[in-house]
Amino acid sequence: MLNKVVSEIKELKNAIDRPVRLMEVCGTHTVAIFRHGIRDLLPEGIQLLSGPGCPVCVTSIRDVDTVIEISRSRDVIITTFGDMMRVPGASKSLFYAKSEGSDIRIVYSPLDALKIAKDNSSKKVVFFATGFETTSPLVAATISEAENTGINNFFIYSVHKTVPPALRALLESGEVLVDGFILPGHVSTIIGKAPYKFIAADFKKPGVITGFDAFDILSGIRMLLEQIAGGKAAIENQYTKVVKDEGNLRAVSIMNEYFVPSDAEWRGLGILPGSGLELCEKFHHRDIRSVLNPDVSGGREPRACSCGDVLKGIKIPTDCGLFGKACTPEKPVGACMVSSEGTCSAYYRYMGIKES
Amino acid sequence: MDNDTPLIQLSHGSGGRMMHRLIRDYFVPAFDMKSLHDSAVIDNLPPGRLAVTTDSYVISPYFFPGGDIGLLSVCGTVNDLAMAGANPLCLTAGFIIEEGFPFDDLKRILDSMRAVTEKIGVNIITGDTKVVERGKGDGIFINTAGVGVIEDGVDISPLNIRPGDKVIVSGSIGNHGISVMAERNGISFEPKLLSDVQPLHSLVAGMLRETKKIHVLRDPTRGGLATTLKELASASGLGVLINESSIDVRPGVRGACDLLGLDPFYIATEGILVAFVDPGDADRLVEAMKKTDSGKDASVIGEVVETPAQSVLLKTKIGGIRILDMLSGDQLPRIC
């Protein structure tokens, strides 16, 4: 079955008389593409670009620094997902802050953080909430639980992001050299198909909601090539076994009950309008920023970082002056190097640059 | 036992009567120590070269599915000796115990060390105990050191690796790391995942009876199979090509890895070994390994290649090629 899809991809590519650049938007796709060795199976002339990656990697330096600042209070426990621990701020990561004495704990679910709050009633327990539309409904449900059970020492620091506004911002920048989008399966489970329609309608690019095993990903690529070869641009769904066109209405509704869209800063891309989620007015008392009002200045990204251009597909990592010198997997500067499977990190390893 | 408290006190490490009672009633019977002098003396050394190793064990939780810190501290050190081709001769054990540690837990840990040392046929000949204040340790830390003897003609070193060598793995990967991680985080799987912690000295002895010309042996503990292979590729200046479809990953480990976003190739094991051997010896060795309990799932997973030098390539199940590099730190569960 796999061989059939691969040979169909080859035939379709032969019918398209130019190089094709496809962007996978989601970090899980990037990881799966590496794990399965999918690039090896694709014919010459199909380039896979990694998009904004996982929601954790795009957390801004300012947000990491602010959470570290908050963590210095003796009455605060910070809780977060494991992969957030290594994301660098201006000078240090949460891991480093932990070694300096901050109480920072890894959790697997925001509900674990709520339990920590329940068990430590004299402390302010803050969940550093990252994630796309897949995690924000769960965080909303956790706040609902905190409200209902009267756990008043539970707060969040939201750096939640949403996918469609980020794609719109990328496309509106006018520089994106992408012929089609491999759209994220998990996020689409929640939001469905409709929020992506502008990609096809306004920007004439095809997109396919795609699953995560090797067959899913290759099938998604084949569906994109079919559209490109036929000069079409539509949003299609390869992952029909999981994703319904309308998404998960209950999850969307709880997300909308607790969160409102806000402008959000993405590492490497800057501030993208309407691409974040913050707690709505009614639940401001759960927002640690409105309780502690931390003041962190600076936190600007190094000017030479080219992540934005790499994410848009207009530069390759080696075009960046920091690549392999100031920016390495051990000491990453930009989002593309933070993630172990980000574009820059992958280039770094595949090009065999020796660690000094 | 005439201790008047169920918990270890600071005074149990102070050198006085309480410490002597702790040693007399717990450690001496567990380890069959003949003398309590400052040093143990080894009489009648067998011929051959001596191998010496030491390792410290700080695992949390100290009881985990399939084992405990005591079992781990014996197996880990015995396995380090075995990976040098050495037959274990004796061990030492040092304990750092946190004030307030339950005596019952200490007894369970010592019983498990006694059981495994008896099974292996090796004695813990000397030891040490310290007690630290509450909050200054994580329950219990154990250091063990081991001495072993390498028979003449056995020479195990990454420098022996040659292009064409076959790579053998003795069992499935990822069991130890995933079972500990699941226990630590209260995640349960059905059927329950057990750590693979076990001594490998008799497996190695059996392999050496087949041929003394085993090029290199390693047990992929921290960093898992990928890191071990990468270390060997770097040390030998050669490449390693392995097949994903030949590597056994139990469904529970696979499921947990998918759930937590972890890669089983980087998960710690404590009861399997990797061997690089001459291609002519490979099938014979695998057959011999399969006859033992600890090697019954042994198989050839790949081979040594000249290029790309110092790299590990994985041929994926769908036929793609992936590079297995060293991780820059721990694997962390991802969310997306």
Q: What is the reported pLDDT for B333?
A: 60
Mean pLDDT of the A115-123 span:
96
Q: Which of B308, B318, B335 faces A214 most closely, judged by CB atoms? A: B318
Tell me the β-bridge partners of B313.
B241, B323
A28: which chain B residues are within 8 Å (Cβ-Cβ)?
261, 336
* Whether the Cβ atoms of residue A78 and residue A94 lie closer than 8 Å to each other: yes
Rounded to the nearest 10 degrees, the angle between the axes of helix B279-290 and helix B201-210 is 130
DSSP string, A61-119: HHHHHHHHHHHTSTTEEEEE-GGGTT---SS--HHHHHHTT--EEE-SSHHHHHHHHHH
Cβ within 8 Å, pair B323-A350: yes
Cβ within 8 Å, pair B322-A330: no
Element containing residue A23 per DSSP (H, E): strand A20-26
Residue A157's identity, in one-letter code, is Y
Cα pseudo-dihedral B182, B187, B193, B196, rounded to 10: 10
Q: What is the reported pLDDT for B107?
A: 96
* Whether the Cβ atoms of residue B274 and residue B169 lie closer than 8 Å to each other: yes
3-class secondary structure, B214: strand
Q: Which of A130, A214, A349 faces B323 most closely, judged by CB atoms? A: A349
Which positions in chain B have a beta carbon within 8 angstroms of at least one beta carbon in chain A?
A: 185, 187, 260-261, 263, 308, 311, 314-323, 325, 327-329, 332-336
**B19/chain A closest Cα distance in angstroms:** 33
Residue of B nearest to A329 (CA): B328
Q: Which of B320, B328, B332 faces A40 most closely, judged by CB atoms? A: B320
Cβ within 8 Å, pair A38-B314: no
**B8/chain A closest Cα distance in angstroms:** 26
Cβ within 8 Å, pair A214-B334: no
B46 DSSP assignment = P
Q: How many CA atoms lie within 13 A of B114 on its CB side?
A: 14
A124 DSSP assignment = E
Separation of alpha carbons B269 and B224, rounded Å: 6
Structure tokens at A47: 């380039």
* Burial grade of B189 (CB within 10 A; 0-12, 13-18, 19 or more): middle
Angle at A113 between CA A112 and CA A118, to 5 degrees: 95
Q: What is the reported pLDDT for B255?
A: 84
Q: What is the reported pLDDT for A299?
A: 64
- B/e letters for B47-61, b = 16+ CB within 10 Å, e = fewer, are ebeebebebebebee
A82: which chain B residues are within 8 Å (Cβ-Cβ)?
332-334
Cβ within 8 Å, pair A186-B322: no
**Strands B321-323 vs B312-315: parallel, antiparallel or unpaired:** antiparallel
Cβ within 8 Å, pair A37-B328: no
**Strands B49-57 vs B140-150: parallel, antiparallel or unpaired:** antiparallel
Separation of alpha carbons A79 and A115, rounded Å: 11
Mean pLDDT of the A338-356 span:
64
Q: Which of B185, B327, B329 faces A108 most closely, judged by CB atoms? A: B185
Q: What is the reported pLDDT for A353?
A: 41
pLDDT digits (tens, 9 = 90+) for A65-74: 999 999 999 9
Residue of B nearest to A337 (CA): B328
A55: which chain B residues are within 8 Å (Cβ-Cβ)?
335-336
Which positions in chain A have a beta carbon within 8 angstroms of at least one beta carbon in chain B?
A: 2, 26-28, 31, 34-41, 54-56, 81-83, 85-86, 106, 108, 130-132, 134-135, 186, 214, 329-330, 340, 349-350, 352
Separation of alpha carbons A143 and A130, rounded Å: 15
Q: What is the reported pLDDT for A28?
A: 83
A86: which chain B residues are within 8 Å (Cβ-Cβ)?
329, 332
Q: Which residue has the tokens 């090509």?
A: B241
B325: which chain A residues are within 8 Å (Cβ-Cβ)?
349
Judged by phi (left if over 0) then psi (alpha if -120 to 50, else beta), residue B66 lies in left
Cβ contacts from A onto B, under 8 A:
81
3-class secondary structure, B256: helix
Cβ within 8 Å, pair B336-A86: no
3-class secondary structure, A57: coil
Q: Which residue has the tokens 């329940």?
A: A118
DSSP string, A298-342: --PPPTT--HHHHHTTSS-GGGSTTBTTTB-SSS--SHHHHSTTS
Separation of alpha carbons A209 and A183, rounded Å: 4
Q: What is the reported pLDDT for A333?
A: 82
What's the distance, Cα to Cα, between the start and end of chain A in Å? 44
Least confidently predicted of A317-321, A329-333, B176-180: A329-333
pLDDT digits (tens, 9 = 90+) for A235-249: 999 999 999 999 999
Cβ within 8 Å, pair B314-A28: no
User: Which residues contact residue A107 at a Cβ distance below 8 angstroms, ignoring those fewer than 6 apart?
Assistant: A79, A80, A81, A113, A116, A127
Separation of alpha carbons B313 and B134, rounded Å: 47
Separation of alpha carbons A95 and A89, rounded Å: 11
B316: which chain A residues are within 8 Å (Cβ-Cβ)?
35-37, 214
Residue of B nearest to A42 (CA): B320
Cβ within 8 Å, pair A37-B334: no
B318 DSSP assignment = T
Cβ within 8 Å, pair B336-A28: yes
B314: which chain A residues are within 8 Å (Cβ-Cβ)?
37
Indicate if ipTM > 0.85: no
User: Which residues contact residue A25 at a Cβ distance below 8 angstroms, ignoring those fewer than 6 apart?
Assistant: A51, A52, A163, A167, A181, A182, A183, A184
3-class secondary structure, A156: strand
Q: Could you give phi then psi for residue B325, rounded to 5 degrees?
A: -105, 175
Element containing residue A261 per DSSP (H, E): strand A259-266
What's the Rg (C-alpha) of chain A?
21
Query: What are the residue ranges in chain B where pLDDT is below 70?
Result: 1-4, 34-36, 328-336
Q: Given strand A104-106, what is the order of strands in its sheet?
A: A104-106, A76-80, A124-129, A154-158
Q: What is the reported pLDDT for B258?
A: 79
* Whether the Cβ atoms of residue B232 and residue B158 lie closer than 8 Å to each other: yes
**B322/chain A closest Cα distance in angstroms:** 5
Confidence of residue A123 (pLDDT cuts 50, 70, 90): very high
Cα pseudo-dihedral A92, A98, A104, A108, rounded to 10: 80
Cβ within 8 Å, pair B335-A39: no
Separation of alpha carbons A299 and A68, rounded Å: 12
How high does pLDDT run on average in chain A?
90
pLDDT digits (tens, 9 = 90+) for A80-114: 988 888 888 888 899 999 999 999 999 988 999 99
Separation of alpha carbons A330 and A200, rounded Å: 39
Who wins on pLDDT, A314 or A234? A234
Q: Which of B263, B316, B329 faces A37 most closely, judged by CB atoms? A: B316
Cβ within 8 Å, pair A132-B336: yes
Q: Kindly report the number of other CB atoms within 10 A of residue A276's CB atom.
A: 22
Cβ within 8 Å, pair B317-A38: no
Q: Which of A39, A81, A352 faces B335 most closely, judged by CB atoms? A: A81
B319: which chain A residues are within 8 Å (Cβ-Cβ)?
37, 40-41
Separation of alpha carbons A22 and A19, rounded Å: 10
**A81/chain B closest Cα distance in angstroms:** 7
